[in-house]
Structure 1
Amino acid sequence: MADASIGTPEQLRDPNYTPPLVKAVPLGIQHVLAMFVSNVTPAIIVCGAAGFGFGSNSPDFPEMIYMIQMSMFFAGIATLFQSVGFGPVGARLPIVQGTSFAFIPIMIPLVVGKGVDAMAALMGGVMIGGLFHALLGTVIGKIRFALPPLVTGLVVTMIGLALVKVGIQYAAGGVPAIGTPEYGSLQNWMVAGSVIVVTLALKFYARGMLSVSAILVGLLVGYILAWALGMVNFGNVGRAAVVALPSPFHFGFEFSMAAVVGFCLMAFVSAVETVGDVSGITKGGAGREATDKEIQGATFADGLGTAIAGVFGALPNTSFSQNVGLIAMTGVMSRTVVTIGALFLILAGLVPKVGAIISTVPIEVLGGGVIVMFGMVVAAGISMLSDVTWNRRNMVIFAIALSLGLGLQLEPGALQHLPTSVKVLATSGILPAALIAIVLNLILPAELSDESTEEMSGTFAGHDEKA
């Protein structure tokens, strides 16, 4: 519920209202706390998949610190694009931007085991995909018909399913530790489990900021336990610079067809997610529908923020749904509050020591956090699918898309004879599932929807009885 001391109900529903600073600053910090862990995690995952950054003796360790730093800095910049806006860019609403989880299943196959040299092609994809994403702002309203809850829910579910393996690997000791005696040890699982237990306890039994920041507090508890067990190394914190500016083309630029196609296709998913977040903010905070201008501006900001982030070595940005829920909970619609949060992110991104401290978090601690986060992604997808009418037509579309998408992801060797670029895209799981669902949804006759799922349920029940 909204605090009456912040403003009147009419003021709180107005995006242009500025609460007293003594209230606005804590509210802005609360937005940062709600998204902070999710924002920096993709950078750590991508660096880990590429095979660099872990361990204080790694020669590429500073590159991971830089990417973490840029994740914070450009999340702040992209948030300013949304909250302040300029020209057609930005919804001018309290939308918080952050590094997107949706692109991780696309990025991992592009960089896996290739080291820091793989970053040039990845950043090329981020830049071009971001520009394409911005262009979607001109047509986003016209293509929404091709992306019903059946498609978007399937895609979000697939994103979560593609990531849960990463969470388990991290909790057990991390990808670099696979095959070692320490991998999957009781100590590793004890540390990861402490994060999960504390997060769940706070989420369900705490209130206010403690509940909102449950994952962050859970990570802090796991971090303290890991430190007590001698798993934390502060060696790189002292060597990190106090202040450092973003470096253009830090990782270089390379054109990779697989990266460009992958990022452009995933831009559709990210754009639809942003449309949903904009609608959620206007409904939850102002009790109205989002305007076409707001949706277009938000999509422009999404894409432009991603493209600029790629230039400086950061990953794709998108709107953060957890902050949408925070606005609905606090009842404060002020975009000034989110702007204050963005400034905190920018300041943190200019201080490499912040990134160095984050990099000291043991992978097992992070694993406990991402198990919860990735599981929530799956749950969000299933929640979206609950809006689907489960007739025979939709069940067939879902079944085929899920079977092929998830199957190719689990068994990439089935496509070993395809060109490398095509194989990378197909084995991501998400893109084939999304394309199959979109195409089948557009071409299968709607008349099939008249057939009830009761017939299919009865068929399965009959098989069960025979069994």
Structure 2
Amino acid sequence: MTSTKETPSIENLYHLDGKISVKQAVPFGLQHILAMFVSNIAPIFIVAGASGLSSQDTAMLIQSAMLIAGIGTLIQLFPIFHKVGSGLPIVMGISFTFVSVFTYLGVAYGYNAIVGAVIVGGIIEGILGLLAKYWIKLITPIVSSTVVTAIGFSLLSVGASSFGGGSGSETFGSATNWILGSITLLCCILFNIFAKSYFKQLSVLFGLVVGYLIAIAMGAVDFSSLQNTAIIAFPSLMPFKPEFNINAIISTTLIFLVSATETIGDTSALAASGLNREATLKETSGSIACDGFISALSGLFGCMPITSFSQNVGLVAMTKVVNRFAIATGAVIMILAGIFPIFGSVLATLPDAVLGGCTLMMFGNIVISGLQMMGKAGFTQRNITIAALSLSVGIGFTQVPEIFAIFPQIIQTVFAENCVAVVFIVSIILNLVLPKNMEAHTEA
């Protein structure tokens, strides 16, 4: 009798608006936060270091990032005015896409100019999201599926880098990191094979917990950062006075356009892998609008742009858990981490190698989702040409960024190491210029 009562609740994990208990929701929400936490704060460390910010300023930005990411995730789950937010289980976080341009702008104009550019660029992206119906037709199924595939491929090196111990780590590729990454990955796989019922979908959380405990036992976890961390503190509004530098604004707005294309890809991938359907215009429009306006809000708190996290799209693709309440518990955890810095500091001690062991499979799932979307779009000669050439140029050229040396610095900053941006531009151009009836031309 008990199992009969529980079954509908368990099945509701795989439905957007299904009713589930808090006890069931929390593990899945926590799993999403652990999957993205390190990646959420890593861009802040990089940009803050390049901009010459103090450790106190960096800690404040991390706190703000968790709060804004939690608010942004809730808005994605439960749209404002049915316009801002997708209504899909999209988890938001600090975007890696802006790191290269911000490291340049931080040195050239200072962090205050970055803040001003984030506010302006975010508003522009938000407005573009609300007006998506006028331009979204450019994003055909073959374009979006190619972009999703590119997102997956671009993240594979991120997963591998984490597996090795994190880019720039003194112990990168060490035996300790190999052991931690391998054990974590193995735990995820074995738990997914042998666990029963919906517990199977907690394989990433299980792998993270086991990997973390083993890392502690091996002395690979540094708790020193917890000593001076306040238990409770509230993020500051306008901690940096915005400076509106036109060069910084133009550069940042261009990256916001790139970020919007990634959001389109993430939204398409999530709908395809988690809901087995295409994303609607309303969902895509709301998703982009949320990205933009929440990024502007992030700028008011002195922080970097917020965007949809491909890591969590990969997690949804793997678990098929799309319940909004389950993901909302994760958003609440992020907000609490923004108010209680000690909570975020504990999560920040999670070793990169442990995270890498979990993310390898997740990122691979994004690639597979993109390929499945291509299959649904159809492998016509035209579609094959668009996908093949876009991926070849996008992934190939960005592997050798020196190829962009003849272009102005702004072009190099935006495209030289951003394969998703290049894939998007090439696929859009090909989709516009290639004849619609290529098969007829080939037969002739």
TM-score of the superposed pair, with normalisation by structure 1: 0.77
C-alpha displacement of 1:241: 0.8
Q: Does the alignment pair 1:236 with 2:225? A: yes
**Alignment equivalent of 1:38, drawn from 35, 39, 63:** 35
Q: Which amino acid aligns with 1:415?
A: F
**8 Å contact 2:112–2:240 — kept in the other structure?**
yes
**Alignment equivalent of 1:437, drawn from 427, 432, 435:** 427
Corresponding residue for residue 127 of structure 1: 119
- Structure 1 residue matching 2:437: 3-state secondary structure: helix
- Structure 1 residue matching 2:92: 3-state secondary structure: strand
- Structure 2 residue matching 1:360: 3-state secondary structure: coil
**8 Å contact 2:317–2:366 — kept in the other structure?**
no
**8 Å contact 1:242–1:353 — kept in the other structure?**
yes
C-alpha displacement of 1:424: 1.0
Corresponding residue for residue 199 of structure 1: 188
Corresponding residue for residue 172 of structure 2: 183
RMSD: 4.0
Spell out, residue by residue over 1:303-354, the C-alpha distance to the aligned partner (whole angstroms, 9 max, x if none): 3223212332154133754686699658x6xx66655553343223211111
**8 Å contact 2:126–2:293 — kept in the other structure?**
yes
**Alignment equivalent of 1:159, drawn from 151, 164, 171:** 151
After the TM superposition, which residues 370-449 of structure 1 pair with which residues of structure 2 at under 5 Å, given as runs?
370-427=359-416, 428-449=418-439
Corresponding residue for residue 265 of structure 1: 258
CA–CA distance in 1 between the matches of 2:44 and 2:354?
Answer: 17
Corresponding residue for residue 170 of structure 1: 162
CA–CA distance in 1 between the matches of 2:369 and 2:102?
Answer: 26
Corresponding residue for residue 465 of structure 1: none
CA gap 1:375/1:5 in 2 versus in 1, 3 angstroms: closer
Corresponding residue for residue 331 of structure 2: 342
CA–CA distance in 2 between the matches of 1:141 and 1:279?
Answer: 20
Spell out, residue by residue over 1:151-193, the C-alpha distance to the aligned partner (whole angstroms, 9 max, x if none): 112222222322322332332233223xx5x432222211111
Corresponding residue for residue 26 of structure 1: 23
CA–CA distance in 1 between the matches of 2:14 and 2:29?
Answer: 21
Q: Which amino acid aligns with 1:145?
A: K
Corresponding residue for residue 463 of structure 1: none
Q: Which amino acid aligns with 1:397?
A: I
- Structure 1 residue matching 2:257: 3-state secondary structure: helix
- Structure 2 residue matching 1:361: 3-state secondary structure: coil
CA–CA distance in 1 between the matches of 2:211 and 2:128?
Answer: 41
What is the percentage of aligned positions where both structures have the same residue? Answer: 25
Corresponding residue for residue 227 of structure 1: 216
* Count of aligned positions: 432
**8 Å contact 1:200–1:214 — kept in the other structure?**
yes
* Structure 2 unmatched ranges of 5 or more: none
Q: Which amino acid aligns with 1:445?
A: P
CA gap 1:402/1:83 in 2 versus in 1, 3 angstroms: closer
**8 Å contact 2:394–2:423 — kept in the other structure?**
yes
- Structure 2 residue matching 1:386: 3-state secondary structure: helix
CA gap 1:367/1:117 in 2 versus in 1, 3 angstroms: farther
Corresponding residue for residue 306 of structure 1: 295
Corresponding residue for residue 74 of structure 2: 80
CA–CA distance in 1 between the matches of 2:183 and 2:382?
Answer: 44
- Structure 2 residue matching 1:446: 3-state secondary structure: coil
CA–CA distance in 2 between the matches of 1:135 and 1:444?
Answer: 30
CA–CA distance in 1 between the matches of 2:393 and 2:359?
Answer: 26
- Structure 1 residue matching 2:192: 3-state secondary structure: helix
After the TM superposition, which residues 90-101 of structure 1 pair with which residues of structure 2 at under 5 Å, given as runs?
90=84, 93=87, 95-99=89-93
Q: Which amino acid aligns with 2:74?
A: L
Q: Which amino acid aligns with 2:308?
A: T
CA–CA distance in 1 between the matches of 2:386 and 2:16?
Answer: 40
**8 Å contact 2:184–2:354 — kept in the other structure?**
yes
C-alpha displacement of 1:118: 7.0
**8 Å contact 2:272–2:369 — kept in the other structure?**
no
C-alpha displacement of 1:41: 3.1
Q: Does the alignment pair 1:136 with 2:136? A: no
CA gap 1:170/1:245 in 2 versus in 1, 3 angstroms: same
CA gap 1:377/1:105 in 2 versus in 1, 3 angstroms: farther
C-alpha displacement of 1:445: 0.7
My pick for the range that moved more, 381-390 or 422-431, is 381-390
C-alpha displacement of 1:207: 3.8
Q: Which amino acid aligns with 1:168?
A: A
CA gap 1:157/1:187 in 2 versus in 1, 3 angstroms: same
C-alpha displacement of 1:364: 2.4
- Structure 2 residue matching 1:176: 3-state secondary structure: coil
**8 Å contact 2:97–2:259 — kept in the other structure?**
no
CA gap 1:12/1:268 in 2 versus in 1, 3 angstroms: closer
CA gap 1:226/1:272 in 2 versus in 1, 3 angstroms: closer
CA–CA distance in 2 between the matches of 1:170 and 1:26?
Answer: 30
C-alpha displacement of 1:38: 3.4
C-alpha displacement of 1:227: 1.5
